[in-house]
Every structure is written in C-alpha cells, then in structure tokens.
C-alpha cells in the first residue's frame, strides 16, 4: 500500500483530499447558504415590517387629515352660522333703533305741526286784525280827504 501510495500521482492525492473533505466543504457551503438565506429572510421580514409600518403610518396620516378636514369644515360652518346670527342681530338692532328714531321724529313732527298750526292761526288772526285796521284807516283817510276837498272848495 505504501508503494501504491507513492506511485499515485499528486493530483490523485489532491482529488482524494478533496473527496475526503467533500463532506466538510458541503457542510460549509450549506452553512453559508443557510446563513445567506437567514439574512435574506431577515431582510425580507424587515422590509415587509417597514412596508406594513409605512402603510399603517399612511393610513393614520390619511385618517388624521380627514378628521382635520371635518373639524375645519365644522369650524367654518359654525363661524358662518355665528356670523349670520351676529349679522341678523345687528340688522334687528338697527331696525329697532330706526323704529325708535322714526317714532321720535313722528311725535316731533306732530308736536311741531300742532305748534305750527297754532302759530299759523295766531298769525292769521294778527293778519286779519292788521287788514281790518288798515281798512278802517283807509275808510277814514278817504272820508278825511273827501272832507278836506269839500272844505277847500267852500
């Protein structure tokens, strides 16, 4: 056997070493493959988890945006309702003030009309008295002028 071994070329010895180490090489290759597969599975799971987290984050963000939009719409609607209420109250208040002013002016006009009518009646009475006095004077002047003319001729 020793002679045979010495006769076997070096290449065959290398092949024999390889064959004898084949199991070790195969085990090492399997371990590396298993390690690579484990790393790939871990990365895949991590990516899937990140994707799920991102999807959940996007879903939550969309929900928050929808809630914010609804809340903003409610705030706007409430503000419009409040503004309309304030505007309606202001219009009602202004109408009430104008109604009071209208009543005051109406009463003032009635009082002024009554005083004006009394003033006009007083003025008309004074005018009538002055006219009557002038007519009396005119009649007396004409009689005096007629008497003077008759006295001159005499």
Query: pLDDT-derived band of residue 125, with 50, 70 and 90 as boundaries?
Result: very high
pLDDT (mean) for 116-134? 94
pTM assigned to the model: 0.43
DSSP sequence for 2-17: HHHHHHS-HHHHHHHH
Please state, for a pLDDT cut of 90, what percent of the chain lies above it: 53
Question: How confident is the model over 96-123, as pLDDT tens digits?
Answer: 999 999 999 999 999 999 999 999 999 9
Nearest-5° Cα angle at 70, 66 to 73: 135
Both tokens of 125, joined, read 């009475």
DSSP sequence for 82-132: HHHHHHHHHHHHHHHHHHHHHHHHHHHHHHHHHHHHHHHHHHHHHHHHHHH
Round to whole Å and give the CA distance between 69 and 72: 5
Q: How far apart are the first and last CA of the chain?
A: 211
> Cα-atom radius of gyration of the chain, to the nearest Å?
64
Round to whole Å and give the CA distance between 152 and 154: 5
pLDDT (mean) for 44-68? 87
- pLDDT attached to residue 8: 66
Round to whole Å and give the CA distance between 122 and 114: 12
Round to whole Å and give the CA distance between 86 and 80: 10
Place of tokens 């009689």: 143
Query: pLDDT-derived band of residue 154, with 50, 70 and 90 as boundaries?
Result: very low
């Amino acid at each position: 056997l020793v002679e045979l071994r010495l006769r076997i070329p070096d290449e065959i010895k290398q092949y024999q070493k390889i064959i004898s180490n084949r199991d070790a090489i195969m085990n090492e290759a399997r371990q590396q493959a298993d390690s690579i597969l484990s790393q790939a599975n871990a990365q895949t799971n991590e990516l899937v988890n990140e994707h799920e987290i991102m999807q959940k984050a996007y879903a939550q963000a969309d929900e928050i945006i929808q809630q914010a939009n609804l809340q903003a719409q409610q705030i706007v609607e409430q503000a419009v309702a409040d503004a309309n209420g304030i505007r309606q109250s202001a219009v009602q208040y202004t109408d009430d003030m104008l109604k009071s002013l209208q009543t005051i002016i109406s009463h003032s006009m009635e009082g002024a009309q009554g005083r004006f009518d009394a003033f006009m009646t007083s003025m008309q009475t004074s005018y009538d008295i002055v006219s009557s006095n002038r007519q009396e004077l005119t009649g007396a002047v004409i009689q005096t002028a007629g008497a003077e003319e008759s006295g001159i001729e005499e």
